[in-house]
Amino acid sequence: MIVSGQHGFEIKTLFIEPEFLRCAEAARIYNISRAKIYELMREGKIEYVSLRKRGSTSGVRLIKLASIRKFMNDRLQGGENKGSK
């Protein structure tokens, strides 16, 4: 996005799309529940990485944005559980 600034100069804003999202972010963006996100991860339908300290049972799971997009687009193209138009 380019915005004209004072005195004739331009201000440029650069948006860099993330490669990974937290579960809550993916749920908000795609308007599905976090429980559904975890279900899709368990079923291997979307890719993710789990980050945690050695020996710890808690951590953070990051979803690969490209994999959730692919999952959603596959549903659009007639994949399993296709929604009605």
* Mean pLDDT score across all residues of the chain: 86
Average pLDDT for residues 55-82, to the nearest whole number?
88
What domains can be seen in the chain, in order of their start residue? Answer: 18-76 (1.10.10)
Please tell me the pTM assigned to this model. 0.70
Q: How far is CA 85 from CA 19, 29, 35, 77, 82, in A?
A: 30, 21, 25, 12, 9
Bridge partners of 2, per DSSP, are 12
15 pLDDT above the threshold of 70: yes
Dist. CA 36–CA 11, nearest whole Å = 40
